[in-house]
Structure 1
Amino acid sequence: MASYRIALNFEDGVTRFVECRDDEKVLDAAFRNKINLPMDCSDGVCGTCKCRAESGAYDLGDDFIDDALTADEAASGLVLTCQMKPSSDCVIAVPTTAAACKTGQQKFTASVASVVPHNDAAIVLELDIEGAAAPAFLPGQYVNIDVPGSGQSRSYSFSSASGETRVGFLIKKIPGGLMSTWLEHAEVGTKLELTGPLGSFYLREVQRPLLFLAGGTGLAPFLSMLEVLARTNPEQKVHLIYGVTRDLDLVLVDEIEAYTKRLANFTFDTVVADVASSHPRKGWVTQHMPEDVLNGGDVDVYLCGPPPMVDAVRKHLDDTGVRPNSFHYEKFTPNAVAKEAA
């Protein structure tokens, strides 16, 4: 009997993972894990348990009525969790909050494995997860990390892939910043508390070319996505544009370059805004976005960067009249406790 991993992503960004057998309905698997997904009848009649399957293969059977789920809705990816039986790992968007489903954010403990500064721009933090189970998350998601002794936390996207006991983060180095200051003296083995995974910015099922737009340490979630893509090796084209303010802000370029050897259809460009830079591509990301990577709109665009970058890219797409098939973005500010995604 096969079992599959089902990611339940709630509208408040909380994600919970459950194991579902191939002969089991998703609603039942969720209840078995003490997650009360919306439902009234559980018989395919009321439509209360309607969610959206964002990736994966499944069977809905024929024991439901059209009033609960029409053929058009099913074709668009809507599902009834009381009828859905998976035949692969799946990601399901649940149109309510985790609290409404009587489930909360997961917490886990990790210890500092390494702290590596990159110029004065960023810090790569690696943590070893305590316990036997590696954390599950969707590539692109983040966690809140408690800063010891402060009573506060900071949000950072995973730069590593799910399922590993060592996880990585790319953190912007901010003079006087709460986490930056603590990391200056962090010792290997120090315990940290993490809460997550969180966020609705994550890699969906790859069905068309991808355009990744990273601003500064907004590169982190794309490193996670690229690692997952390298392991699955999709045939679709993937292009990354990595924009920074100064030359010194370009970090981990060697890691990006390594993916060109692991992903046959992956390419990338780096862009530096500083007019005094000798970098071959100067200016803003929007000035180095050729028409071919937009593929006439038949492209899924993912963007992670500061709010002005997000706004500039949205305006650029509007001005050029290009409407990508989907546009997922995450805005962040250096000291943000929480993130905004769409």
Structure 2
Amino acid sequence: MSTYTVALNFEDGVTRFVECKAGEKVLDAAFRARINLPMDCSDGVCGTCKCRAESGDYDLGDDYIEDALSEDEKDRGLVLTCQMVPQSDCVIAVPASSAVCKTEHTRFAATVSKIEQHHDAAVVLELDVDAAAPVFLPGQYVNIDVPGSGQHRSYSFSSAPGASKISFLIKKIPGGVMSTWLESAQAGAKLDLNGPLGSFYLRAVQRPLLFLAGGTGLAPFLSMLEVLARTGSQQKVHLIYGVTRDLDLVLVNEIEAYVAKLPNFSFATVIADPASDHPRKGWVTQHIPDDALNDGDVDVYLCGPPPMVDAVRKHFEDTGVAPNSFHYEKFTPNAATPRAA
């Protein structure tokens, strides 16, 4: 009997996954997992359980009334979870917080298996999860408790869902809480994590993709590229990876490997430092090829520090570029609680 995994993305960034049995409605599967999705009638009459299906195949049947879900809303991807029966894995945006739905982050423990230093720029942290591997969407992040500090830091998965180990690309911050801990941490150290979180994740791939990464904002794209390779995507994908200095350019060999894994993948690296001998200097916006924008029929994903995100948004406005969709995530590496990639 087929079962399908449904990702429920709440408006506060928390994601929970539920398993839907064959023929089971999403609302029922969520309740079985003790997640109280918004509802009132549960009969397709009131519309209280209305959410947005962001990917996947499903059947809504015809047992609901138009006042609850109009044809226009249905065409725009809105669904009634009390009527929605998945026919594949799905992603659903829930217009309510996780607290309102009486659910919370998933906490799990992990053990450090490798810490790999990349000059003074970044650290690759690889972990073995003590129980079942966490389920997440490529591009999402987790909060990692920093031992002995009473604080946590947030990092995007650089590994793909389902991998035997999970990994993160972490910017080295002099005096930073996590950076300081990593200086003396050894394999075998224990860590507590919670998540996944975040609305920055790879949607259903239906057109060419343009990935723009700034510094350690490369991490979520490594996860996305691996998923694209596993699923045999034939869409055109172009990644532009921009950093400040030559030493900040890390994991280029891993990116290069996807040229062979993905038939329509290409990438370029950019160094901002004018003293660099790198063939492409300046800003990412100066090195976006016209064909990568595909006359606007492109989905753009951007992860980098706030000035980069703002610059790219302004560049699109100034040049009149209107991509089909534009998903972005800002990170502040030295902040204690806000998002960091």
1:31-70 matched pairs, under 5 angstroms: 31-70=31-70
Structure 1 residue 174, shift from structure 2 partner:
1.1
Cross-structure match for 1:247: 246
Write the distance in 2 (CA, Å) between the matches of 1:114 and 1:329: 29
Q: Distance in 1 between matches of 2:22 and 2:208?
A: 31
- Cα deviation 1:222-266 (Å, max 9, x = unaligned): 000001000002111110000000011000000000001000011
Match of residue 161 from structure 2: 162
2:233 alignment partner AA = P
Residues 139-189 of structure 1: per-residue CA shift (max 9 Å, x gap):
000000000000000000000011223100000011111111100110111
C-alpha deviations, 1:283-308, integer Å up to 9, x for none? 00000012111111111100000000
Higher deviation after alignment, 10-19 or 173-182: 173-182
User: 3-state DSSP class of the match of 2:268?
Assistant: strand
Q: Which amino acid aligns with 2:254?
A: E
Alignment-derived partner of residue 229 in structure 2 = 230
* Alpha-carbon distance in structure 2 between the residues aligned to 1:291 and 1:316: 13
Please give the residue correspondences for 1:283-322 in structure 2 after superposition, counting only pairs within 5 Å.
283-322=282-321
Query: Residue deviations 1:28-77, cap 9 Å, x none?
Result: 00000000000000000111100011110000000001111111111111
Superposition TM-score, scaled by structure 2 size: 0.98
Q: 1:330·1:340 contact (CA, 8 Å) conserved in 2? A: no
CA distance in 1, matches of 2:130, 2:138: 21
In the alignment, the residues of structure 2 paired with residue 145 and residue 340 of structure 1 have an alpha-carbon distance, to the nearest angstrom, of 11
Match of 1:200 in 2: 199
Written as runs of structure 1 = structure 2, the 5 A alignment for 1:1-342 is: 1-131=1-131, 133-336=132-335, 337-339=337-339
The separation in 2 between residues aligned to 1:27 and 1:150, in whole angstroms, is 40
Larger deviation, residues 160-169 vs 9-18? 160-169
Q: CA deviation at 1:108?
A: 0.3
- How many equivalent residue pairs? 340
**Structure 1 residue 338, shift from structure 2 partner:** 2.1
Cα distance in 1 for residues equivalent to 2:299 and 2:232: 17
C-alpha separation in 2, matches of 1:275 and 1:118: 22
Contact 1:111-1:188 at 8 Å conserved across structures: yes
**Which shifted more, 328-337 or 31-40?**
328-337
CA contact (8 A) 1:154 1:335 kept: no
Q: What displacement does 1:96 show? A: 0.6
Contact kept? 1:246, 1:273, Cα under 8 Å: yes
Distance across 2 between alignment mates of 1:121 and 1:13: 28
Kept in 2: contact 1:135–1:165 (CA 8 A): no
- Matched-pair contact (CA < 8 Å) for 1:135–1:164: no
Unaligned runs of 5+ in 1: none
For the residue of structure 2 that corresponds to 1:256, the secondary structure is helix
- Name the aligned partner's letter for residue 6 of structure 1: V
Q: Percent identity?
A: 77
- TM-score, length basis structure 1: 0.98
Unaligned runs of 5+ in 2: none
Is the 2:24–2:85 Cα contact (8 Å) retained in structure 1?
A: yes
The RMSD of aligned alpha carbons is 1.0
Paired residue secondary structure (1:41):
coil
Q: Does the CA-based 8 Å contact 2:153-2:340 persist in structure 1?
A: no
Q: Which runs of 4+ in 1 moved over 3 A?
A: none
SS at match of 2:224: helix
Q: Secondary structure at the match of 1:267?
A: strand
Contact 1:122 1:173 in 2 (8 A): yes
Give the aligned residue type for 2:229: A
Report the residue type matching 1:223 in the other structure: L
Distance 2:151 2:164 in 1: 24
Secondary structure, in 3 states, of the residue corresponding to 1:338?
A: coil
Distance in 2 between residues matched to 1:76 and 1:30, nearest whole Å: 23
SS at match of 2:203: coil
Counterparts of 1:338 and 1:32 in 2: how far apart (Å)? 32
Shift of 1:340: 8.6
CA deviation after TM superposition for structure 1 residue 213, in Å: 0.3
Where 1:44 maps in the other structure, the secondary structure is coil
CA distance in 2, matches of 1:88, 1:300: 22
